[in-house]
Structure 1
Amino acid sequence: MTEQAKVPAIRFAGFTDPWEQRKASEVFQIVDDRGHPTLPVLSATQNQGMIYRDDSGRYIGHDESNEIGYKRVLPGDFVVHLRSFQGGFAHSQYEGITSPAYTVFRAKEPTSHSDRFWKHWFMSEHFIAGLSTVTYGIRDGRSISVDEFMNTFLAFPAVEEQAAISRLFDYLDDLITLHQRKYDKLVILKKTMLEKMFPKDGESVPEIRFAGFTDPWEQRKLSEVATFGGGHTPPMADPDNYEDGYVLWVTSQDVKSNYLDRTTTQITEKGAKELTLYPAGSLVMVTRSGILRHTLPVAELRKPSTVNQDIRVILPQGECCGEWLLQFFISHNKELLLEFGKTGTTVESVDFGKIKDMLLYMPSTVEQQQIGDFFAKLDSLITLHQRKLELLQNIKKSLLDKMFV
């Protein structure tokens, strides 16, 4: 570390002293305190630090008689665990015991060091990337050489500045957790409502309906309420098909959310000359891609677009509401993939010819519109919280880069 690197790019007002640089072995000490089998067992996690094993949601078979040899962990301690090369060192808020295979360490002078300051640093991308210099083994067998880590240099400010920094990142973590919970609840709500607002197999009415709708849903072929289209790849050897292009061209890698308003690649008017420009409101379905091992991606175009040969386009007609049809495909994703997925092919694909003739239950156009509007608003809320969450995560990442050295 150079002299110039001993102060961070961003600091709280009032702090001007350069950060100290010490070997990790001067700041921390390894502890090996055993013989406390009555303490609760702690498990190491990548994102939550040390948690009670009973709260981990996983059953881990073990011999309780061996717990006499487990290592004691105190609040403020750090644990080097099997996944530290991916998630950093696990911070503990709890007293307990953990696997004897792990290394436990703590500050030599707790009054001079904020464990929460070090917690944020030890879980940062920058620190984890630096662990490669003290890591041995390959792939999932990688381990941290604690002895080598103890010989590396760490930079830190006075404890007062450490406390100010940790308070900021604790606050950011609380905000991130809050928005993550809101996002998760909305995703669960949508999943539940999709299950209840579309009829189950063998039924012609859903469990939940908007007031005023009582008629049974009618069975129709998809080909009776929609038309279909496709596309191809303009010759890539001709740069005039792509350079400075502005026409959206959808490929399988673009269909990652329910709504699509941008593409990885744009093509020129020349490249689009022999392609159909499909209007906004059309649905695009991935019919050939490795992603079909897991899911059947479908999205609604928000802007006019062309497509390549791995995409099929569904254009709702007349009494069919596009937003409702989109939610139908989302709600029946697994069943459709199971029924129409092709087996024994080199690349995963679905039989779109059969999808065109599939039977589906449909309500009146008015009820379709209400259902479609409901889920569109729910999707907007989910997207809003997802963006807030991503923004907070990016802010935290940026500040970690600028407030540590």
Structure 2
Amino acid sequence: MADSNVPSIRFKGFTDPWEQRKLSEYLTLSRIIGHTGVDANKLTVKLWGKGVVAKTDSYGGSRNTQYYVRHAGQFMYGKLDFLHAAFGIVPEELDGYESTLDSPAFDMSGVDGVFLLNRVTQEDFYLGNGLIANGSRKAKRIHEDTFLDMSLTMPSLAEQQVIGRFFSRLDSLITLHQRKYDKLVVLKKSMLEQMFPQEGESVPRIRFSGFTDPWEQRKLGELEKKSVLRMGRGNVISAKDMTAAPGSFPVYSSSALDNGQMGSYGKYMFDQELVTWSIDGGGAVFYRKKHKFSVTNVSGYIATDPDKMSCAFLAQSMSLAHSCINFDYTVKAHPSVIRSLYTLGIPSLAEQQIIGRFFSRLDSLITLHQRKLELLQNIKKSLLEQMFV
């Protein structure tokens, strides 16, 4: 039987079992009195172990609220957001910033900060210990003495440091891919705004060479009447249906996650290019390349005549229009609504095709970095489960 005090994966040279320790053995509460809420440089602890960041206080602060000085390297948590893993370590650039007693800080001794942060942000710690929080459902607090009395199974400091360095490097790699992904998303947003005409304009600000004609303004309903496109809504496909007829054909629904895929099915509705989107207006507009798939009843779809309109271009044009409208319980993105709601700029078919290919390649690059990022995040999650006790 495996030793419950030894992790499944371990660095070479470490064999001693991990031991139960209270946090009070490593952490000492710091309460250096600082400024009031009026003139303190404030910091806050982000949720889900995302760290300590400067706080923008657009409403100012109160002279009656006392703040306390925090120093680089101190461990912090949010009393009110313990159940949401509000843990972090004060970075160098925020040395001397301040917080109230609702975000206490601790000096660390005999413990590796990165190791500790990665351990306390695991669900078994913050959810398990968070159940003892005091207060109402909306204002539960974990006080300092309660926090310091919590226990963790800990290795030697040397092993903590090795594990901490490993996860620091992994986090840096994840951050690198996150930044690449974020930059590409921002680039796409910018290019959509520049490569499609602004409101009241008939030509885009950035254009491929060889195209000079003004774009025509058309509503989706007009294009449908001219048989340029055909609009519809998907079918009811339940989890029970997919279980009864299992298969590998994707079923796309209203979710913005996982490329809108709800599951897989043994049947399919389409084997062609389509544009799909959520009927409630949430999420994204998706360009579906030609493959076998189905669309549920909470999604709309558009098929285009390829001799009259590029489906890939239409998806990007609709995405831009979609982002400019606030959908809510009164305004839904039903085909019957957006037929007259969306006015799109339409260039020649040749220009549509070039724009469509450009954004398809950009979307593929974004998806590639997103998958790399998700893979690294999943690897980290798995290693956290296997390298800690």
TM range, smaller chain: 0.7 to 0.9
Query: Could you tell me how far apart the structure 2 residues matched to 1:351 and 1:116 are?
Result: 49
1:5-16 alignment to 2 at 5 Å?
A: 5-16=4-15
Percent identity between the aligned chains? 36
**Equivalent position of 1:391 in the other structure:** 375
**Equivalent position of 1:49 in the other structure:** 51
Query: Could you tell me how far apart the structure 1 residues matched to 2:253 and 2:18 are?
Result: 49
- 8 Å CA contact 2:76–2:106 kept in 1: the answer is yes
Deviations 1:329-350 (CA, angstroms, capped at 9, x unpaired): 0111134x45xx6965xxx633
- 8 Å CA contact 1:222–1:355 kept in 2: the answer is no
Deviations 1:347-387 (CA, angstroms, capped at 9, x unpaired): x6335235446653322222111101110111111111111
**Equivalent position of 1:252 in the other structure:** 253
- 8 Å CA contact 1:255–1:299 kept in 2: the answer is no
Query: Could you tell me how far apart the structure 1 residues matched to 2:329 and 2:30 are?
Result: 55
**Equivalent position of 2:67 in the other structure:** 70
- Answer yes or no: is 1:181 the counterpart of 2:179: yes
- Answer yes or no: is 1:134 the counterpart of 2:132: yes
Query: How many angstroms does 1:178 deviate by?
Result: 1.1
Choose which of 277, 280, 296 in structure 2 pairs with 1:285.
277
Residue type of the alignment partner of 1:76: G
Query: How many angstroms does 1:106 deviate by?
Result: 2.6
Query: How many angstroms does 1:328 deviate by?
Result: 0.7
- Secondary structure of the residue that 1:147 maps to in structure 2? helix
**Equivalent position of 2:265 in the other structure:** 266
1:113-262 alignment to 2 at 5 Å?
A: 113-220=111-218, 221-223=222-224, 224=226, 225-233=228-236, 243-246=244-247, 248=249, 250=251, 252-254=253-255, 256=257
* The 10-residue stretch of structure 1 (17-26 or 187-196) with the greater mean CA deviation from structure 2: 17-26
**Equivalent position of 1:316 in the other structure:** 304
Deviations 1:16-51 (CA, angstroms, capped at 9, x unpaired): 112222222233232323257898543322344333
- 8 Å CA contact 1:255–1:298 kept in 2: the answer is no
Instruction: Check 1:8–1:217 CA distance in 2 against 1; reply closer, same or farther (3 A cut).
Output: same
Query: Could you tell me how far apart the structure 1 residues matched to 2:204 and 2:297 are?
Result: 36
Deviations 1:58-77 (CA, angstroms, capped at 9, x unpaired): 535214x568x432323322
- Secondary structure of the residue that 1:304 maps to in structure 2? strand
- Secondary structure of the residue that 1:119 maps to in structure 2? helix
What is the aligned length?
Answer: 375
- Secondary structure of the residue that 2:153 maps to in structure 1? strand
Deviations 1:104-162 (CA, angstroms, capped at 9, x unpaired): 2233xx2x322232122223334322332432335431211433333332222221111
Residue type of the alignment partner of 1:252: S
- Secondary structure of the residue that 1:376 maps to in structure 2? helix
Query: Could you tell me how far apart the structure 1 residues matched to 2:335 and 2:241 are?
Result: 32
Query: Could you tell me how far apart the structure 2 residues matched to 1:242 and 1:124 are?
Result: 33
Query: Could you tell me how far apart the structure 1 residues matched to 2:162 and 2:242 are?
Result: 55
**Equivalent position of 1:100 in the other structure:** 101
Choose which of 334, 337, 349 in structure 2 pairs with 1:365.
349
- 8 Å CA contact 2:50–2:87 kept in 1: the answer is no
Query: Could you tell me how far apart the structure 2 residues matched to 1:132 and 1:243 are?
Result: 41
Instruction: Check 1:58–1:376 CA distance in 2 against 1; reply closer, same or farther (3 A cut).
Output: farther
1:323-402 alignment to 2 at 5 Å?
A: 323-335=312-324, 337=325, 344=330, 349-353=332-336, 355-356=338-339, 359-402=343-386
Residue type of the alignment partner of 2:168: D
- 8 Å CA contact 1:250–1:263 kept in 2: the answer is yes
Instruction: Check 1:362–1:306 CA distance in 2 against 1; reply closer, same or farther (3 A cut).
Output: same
Instruction: Check 1:27–1:189 CA distance in 2 against 1; reply closer, same or farther (3 A cut).
Output: same
Query: How many angstroms does 1:265 deviate by?
Result: 5.1
Query: How many angstroms does 1:232 deviate by?
Result: 3.2
- 8 Å CA contact 2:252–2:294 kept in 1: the answer is no
Query: Could you tell me how far apart the structure 2 residues matched to 1:70 and 1:356 are?
Result: 55
Deviations 1:298-349 (CA, angstroms, capped at 9, x unpaired): 44254233434333331111220110011110111134x45xx6965xxx63
Query: How many angstroms does 1:210 deviate by?
Result: 0.6
**Equivalent position of 1:300 in the other structure:** 288
Query: Could you tell me how far apart the structure 2 residues matched to 1:35 and 1:207 are?
Result: 52
- Secondary structure of the residue that 2:277 maps to in structure 1? strand
- Secondary structure of the residue that 2:4 maps to in structure 1? helix
- Secondary structure of the residue that 1:136 maps to in structure 2? coil
Residue type of the alignment partner of 2:13: G
- 8 Å CA contact 2:42–2:56 kept in 1: the answer is no
Residue type of the alignment partner of 1:320: M
Query: How many angstroms does 1:183 deviate by?
Result: 0.8
Query: How many angstroms does 1:222 deviate by?
Result: 1.9
TM-score by length of 2: 0.84
Query: Could you tell me how far apart the structure 2 residues matched to 1:246 and 1:216 are?
Result: 47
Query: Could you tell me how far apart the structure 1 residues matched to 2:136 and 2:3 are?
Result: 35
Q: CA RMSD in A?
A: 3.2
**Equivalent position of 2:84 in the other structure:** 86
Deviations 1:255-279 (CA, angstroms, capped at 9, x unpaired): 657x66x5425255xxx7xxxx323
* The 10-residue stretch of structure 1 (142-151 or 386-395) with the greater mean CA deviation from structure 2: 142-151
Residue type of the alignment partner of 1:312: G
- Secondary structure of the residue that 2:76 maps to in structure 1? strand
